[in-house]
Amino acid sequence: MKKIILFISFLTFGMSQSGVEIAQMVDDRATPKDMTSSTTMVLTNKKGKTRTAKIFSKSINNNKKQIMWFLSPKDDKGVAFLKIEHDDKDDEMRMWLPAFKKIRRISSKKKGDSFMGSDLSYEDMSSREINENTFTRLDDELVDGVDCYVIEAVPNRDLRSSYSKHKTWIDKNLIMAVKEESYDRLGNLKKIKSFKNELVGKYRVMAGIFVKDVQNNHTTNITFDDLKLDTGIKANLFHEKNLKRLPRN
């Protein structure tokens, strides 16, 4: 039914959608209730040296609640991370340090900081709320032969974003982002992100992200494998006590 509505909307509005309407379309796209994945994160620094981490993660509510356990490298095995986004208060982030046997809170003030030394910040990993940004539609473009909408999102001032704007290319057919450029507060290009999408069951979901920090010449390549959707993950999993032990599946 949602697909039909989308199709009708597309026919009705044709080329006339505004930036915010396109953003809304992306936001309204059907997403799974929960997701389980094995993630591989490869960091490459400016000298070409790499570090690889394997993470097992579970999330619900379009990643608003997420828990992840580090499987490798050996040094990081057992470290775990919990994130819970709130609409009415600061997000919660906690981590488990197995060697110290301590759970530590991560400040939500630090959303511009790098996540685990990657090129993704907490802000990049959080949902982009439509009412917290101003969207403008730019001229459509082709990305690798795919016809795309191009929209610009400028975060509202009170958001204290670490970015001045984002420029996003959205696949017109899939209504999913395929590429994004993020600009720092001075307006200089900071990151280029490329997204890989995949059909899993009835959903089109993100299967990989490649991020390049053009200012630091550092890259992060994330791939999501063994994607399992709508498996009925319970909300009570997202509790700090569950950080301490790796689930069986």
Partner 1 sequence: MGHPIREWVIEKTLKHPKRTIVVSLFLTIMMASGAQYFVIDDDMMKMLPKNMPSRVAWDNVMEEFGNTDMVYVTFGIRDEKGINPKMLSSLWDFTRALEDMPEVEKVTSITTTERLDSEDGFMEVSDLQYTRDLYPEEVEDIQNYLDNNENIKKQLLSRNEDYLNVVIQPVKKAPFDVLSHNVKNLGNELLSDYETQYGGAAYITGMVPGLIRDDVAMLMRAGMLIMVLILLVNLRSVAGVGMVLMTIVLSLVFMLGFMGWVYRLTGSEKFLFTMMNTSMPIILLTIANSDGVHMIAKFFKELRKRRNTQEAVRVAMDSLLIPIFLTSITTSAAFLAMVFAPIEQMIGYGISISAGILWAWILSSTMLPALISLKKWKMDSKAVTHASIFEKGIDILAKQVAKHPKYILTAGLFLVSIGGFGVTMVEVDVNFSSFFKKGTELRDGMDFMEEEMSGTMDVRVRVEGDIKDPENLQSLIELQNYMEEEPKVGMSFSIANMVQQMHKTIMDDDPKYETIPDTRGKVNNLFTMYSFSGDPDAFESLVDYDYEVGLVTAMSKTLHTNEILTFVKGIESYVIESFPEGLSAMVTGMAVVFRDLVFLIVKSSLISIIVSIFVIGGIASLFFRKLHWGFLAVVPLTAAVILNFGFMGIFDVKLSHITAILASIIIGVGVDFAIHYIAQFRRYSRDRSKYDNLSRKVIDDVGYPIVLDAASNMGFGALLFSAFVPIQYIGGLMVFAMVSTSLGTLTVLAAMTELLKKKIIEQ
| Binding residues vs partner 1 (CB under 8 A) | 43, 45, 47, 49, 51, 75-76, 79, 81, 95, 97-100, 102, 104-107, 109-110, 113-118, 216, 218
Q: Please give the Cα distance from 189 to 166 (Å, whole number).
A: 9
Three-class DSSP category at 219: strand
Q: Least CB distance from residue 67 to partner 1, whole Å?
A: 15
DSSP annotation of 23 reads H
Q: Least CB distance from residue 232 to partner 1, whole Å?
A: 30
Q: Least CB distance from residue 217 to partner 1, whole Å?
A: 10
Tokens coding 68: 């992840």
Q: Least CB distance from residue 108 to partner 1, whole Å?
A: 11
Are the beta carbons of 197 and 216 closer than 8 angstroms?
no
Give 33 or 160: the residue with its C-beta nearer to partner 1.
160
Place of tokens 């994160």: 41
Instruction: With CA atoms as reference, report the closest residue to 125 among 182, 50, 189, 174.
Output: 182
Q: Least CB distance from residue 107 to partner 1, whole Å?
A: 5
* Angstrom distances, CA of residue 38 to CA of 47, 56, 69, 208, 223: 27, 5, 10, 11, 8
Tokens coding 107: 């400040």
Strand duo 80-84 + 65-72: pairing: antiparallel
Give 86 or 109: the residue with its C-beta nearer to partner 1.
109
Number of other residues whose CB lies within 10 A of the CB of residue 215: 11
Give 107 or 173: the residue with its C-beta nearer to partner 1.
107
Q: Please give the Cα distance from 163 to 197 (Å, whole number).
A: 25
Q: Please give the Cα distance from 127 to 97 (Å, whole number).
A: 26
Strand duo 102-105 + 146-155: pairing: unpaired
